[in-house]
Structure 1
Amino acid sequence: MNLPIYYARAEYIETDTGNKVSRRATIAGPQNIILGGKTIISSGAIIRGDLRRTGPGHAVVISLGRYCLIGEGCVMRPPYKTYRGNFNYYPMKIGDHVHIGANSIVEAATIGNHVEIGKNCIIGKFAIIKDCAKIADNTVVPPNTVIPALALFAGSPGQFVEDLPESTQEMVEAHTKQYYTRFQPLPAER
């Protein structure tokens, strides 16, 4: 039996597309952050959409797909590099059904669909995580690493551990949808 995960109604803002964003999360530059719908951004999470490329009006977009779960204390900021003396940020794209555990730091370029990232992970700049991959708790993924589809990575630095079953997509999708359904406001007190 799956019990509800209750939250205080006053602590979360719910958007028209079903996103639930904690008032204790820091959403910097919200005009540059795209949420696909039914995404939960937990308390203490920081999403930096305010970082820009060199020059005015070059905001960097962070886009999250549907059913993304962003854990407590996560930090998401776009990857950056210095090229020909110019310091630039680059867009970050996150697919559907992505679960990022508490206190993880993400500077990836791309995270595919149906990806699970554990707690206390560091995803280095410009990392690419393909569909249905899993990153174990406390893993450090070095910058520019490409993690293949259906692979489990763990350790510091993160290394391939094993192939994941073909059913990973269905399992992750069921998990994120179930979590979203269970994530409910506290019942009103009588």
Structure 2
Amino acid sequence: MSFAPPIYYPKADYIETDTGNKVSRRATIAGPQNIILGGKTIISSQAIIRGDLRRTGPGHAVVISIGRYCLISEGCILRPPYKTYRGNFNYYPMKIGDYVHIGANSVVEAAIIGNYVKIGKNCMIGKFATIKDCAEIADNTVLPPNTVVPALALFSGSPGNFEDNLPESTQELFESQAKSYYTRFQPLEP
């Protein structure tokens, strides 16, 4: 097994929560009361998470839930999916599972992202897309709205299409990569 070096970050640049989440002070977390982090999740600088968008009417907050050991990379935008139904414009919840890596500068408006999912850099995940467990979206992929990515599938291209099957070991691989990244992500003491 190869040794992966630590990834250092300035301690003052991140807030660490009781459950081990590490959130960049340079990330934009709008509506934090509507965002649930499962623990040991890293939200990088310049990431934007829109928990402030709501359904029609007061008190109809839309929740974004993000599982454990997730990485929201630099410049990502997580925005709940929306649609107009019977003349009413509404946002809907977004659920992201455990061990999910979202690459830099990707925009995600999915309804559901399963566990053990890797989304590459510069991807556009359309409204109400569903990505099942153990799936991978290649760099620069554009998934049209309402796309369903099956388990153990690699999607790529613009528009995103099925490219290949992933190995049965994908779950263990993505889990170990996520845990390794979190362990290596260390504060640089001043």
Q: What is the TM-score of this pair, normalised by structure 2?
A: 0.98
1:154 maps onto 2:145 in alignment:
no
Q: How many aligned residue pairs are there?
A: 188
The 3-state SS of whatever aligns with 2:155 is: strand
Matches within 5 A, 1:91-106: 91-106=93-108
Cα separation, 1, equivalents of 2:12 and 2:97: 28
1:35 paired to 2:40: no
Q: CA deviation at 1:53?
A: 0.0
For residue 54 of structure 1, what is the aligned residue in structure 2?
Answer: 56
Q: Superposition pairs for residues 10-89 of structure 1, below 5 Å? A: 10-89=12-91
Deviations 1:22-56 (A, max 9, x none): 00000000000000000000000000000000000
In structure 2, the partner of 1:3 is 5
CA RMSD across the alignment: 0.5
| Residue 163 (structure 1) aligns with | 165
Please give the alpha-carbon distance, in whole angstroms, between the structure 2 residues aligned to 1:87 and 1:99.
30
Uncovered stretches (5+) of structure 1, i.e. residues with no partner: none
Q: TM-score, normalised by structure 1?
A: 0.98
Q: Which amino acid aligns with 1:176?
A: A
| Secondary structure of 1:126 counterpart | coil
**Matched AA of 1:179:** Y
The residue matched to 1:138 in structure 2 has which SS? coil
Instruction: Please give the alpha-carbon distance, in whole angstroms, between the structure 1 residues aligned to 2:34 and 2:187.
Output: 28
| Structure 2 residue ranges without an equivalent (≥5) | none
Q: 2:130 corresponds to which residue?
A: 128
Q: CA deviation at 1:2?
A: 1.0
Amino acid at match of 1:99: H
Shift of 1:187: 3.7
- The separation in 1 between residues aligned to 2:19 and 2:169, in whole angstroms, is 28
Moved over 3 A (4+): none
SS in 2 for 1:172: helix
Q: Once the two structures are superposed, what CA deviation does each residue of 1:62-108 show, in whole Å capped at 9, x if it has no partner? A: 00000000000000000000000000000000000000000000000
Aligned residue type for 1:18:
G
**Identity over the aligned pairs, expressed in percent?**
82
